[in-house]
Amino acid sequence: MAGMSTQELRDAFFINRLFVPGEVTGHFTDLDRLVVGGVMPGGQPLELPNHKETGRAFFLERRELGAINIGGAGSIVADGKAFALDRLDCAYVPMGTKSVSFSSADPKNPAKFYFLSCPAHAAHPAAMMKSSEAAPVKLGAMETANQRTIYKFIHQGGIQSCQLVMGLTALEPGNVWNSFPPHTHWRRTEIYFYFDLGDRALAHFLGEPQESRHLFLHDEDVALSPNWSMHFGCGTGNYKFIWGMAGENQVFDDMDPAKPLDLR
- The arrangement of secondary structure in 132-262, i.e. its CATH architecture, is Sandwich (2.60)
> What's the CA gap between 77 and 47, in Å, rounded?
9
Q: Over range 22-51, report the average pLDDT.
A: 97
Q: Are 17 and 25 in contact (CB under 8 A)?
A: yes
> What's the CA gap between 162 and 65, in Å, rounded?
10
Burial of 121 by CB count in 10 Å (0-12 exposed, 13-18 middle, 19+ buried)? exposed
Considering the chain, what is the average pLDDT of its residues? 96
Residue 135 pLDDT greater than 90, yes or no? no
Number of C-beta neighbours around residue 249 at 10 A: 14
- Within 8 A by CB and 6+ apart from 138, the residues are 147, 148, 149
Confidence class of residue 138 from pLDDT cuts 50, 70 and 90? Answer: very high
Domain boundaries, the chain: 14-126, 132-262
Q: Over range 75-92, report the average pLDDT.
A: 98
Confidence class of residue 32 from pLDDT cuts 50, 70 and 90? Answer: very high
Residue-by-residue DSSP string for 164-225: -EEEEEEEPTT--EES-S-EE-TTEEEEEEEES-TT--EEEEEEETTEEEEEEE-TT-EEEE
Residue 50 phi, psi (nearest 5): -85, 170
Number of C-beta neighbours around residue 87 at 10 A: 15
Question: What separation in angstroms does the CA of 20 have from each of 49, 76, 99, 117, 152?
Answer: 15, 18, 21, 19, 27
Q: Tell me which H or E stretch contains 154.
A: strand 148-154
Confidence class of residue 248 from pLDDT cuts 50, 70 and 90? Answer: confident
- Quick one: pLDDT at residue 120? 97
Residue 251 pLDDT greater than 80, yes or no? no
Nearest to 46 by CA among 90, 104, 103: 103
- Quick one: pLDDT at residue 54? 96
- The arrangement of secondary structure in 14-126, i.e. its CATH architecture, is Sandwich (2.60)
Residue 253 pLDDT greater than 80, yes or no? no
Identical fold between 14-126 and 132-262: yes
> What's the CA gap between 161 and 166, in Å, rounded?
10
Q: Over range 191-203, report the average pLDDT.
A: 97
* pTM of this prediction exceeds 0.85: yes
- For residues 249 and 56, which has the higher predicted lDDT (pLDDT)? 56
Share above pLDDT 90 across residues of the chain, in percent, rounded to a whole number: 92
Residue 249 pLDDT greater than 90, yes or no? no
Confidence class of residue 250 from pLDDT cuts 50, 70 and 90? Answer: confident
Burial of 45 by CB count in 10 Å (0-12 exposed, 13-18 middle, 19+ buried)? middle
- Quick one: pLDDT at residue 187? 84
Q: Over range 127-141, report the average pLDDT.
A: 94
Confidence class of residue 186 from pLDDT cuts 50, 70 and 90? Answer: confident
Residues in the chain: 264
- Quick one: pLDDT at residue 150? 95
Q: Over range 119-140, report the average pLDDT.
A: 95
Provide the residue type at 145 as one letter.
A
Residue 236 pLDDT greater than 80, yes or no? yes
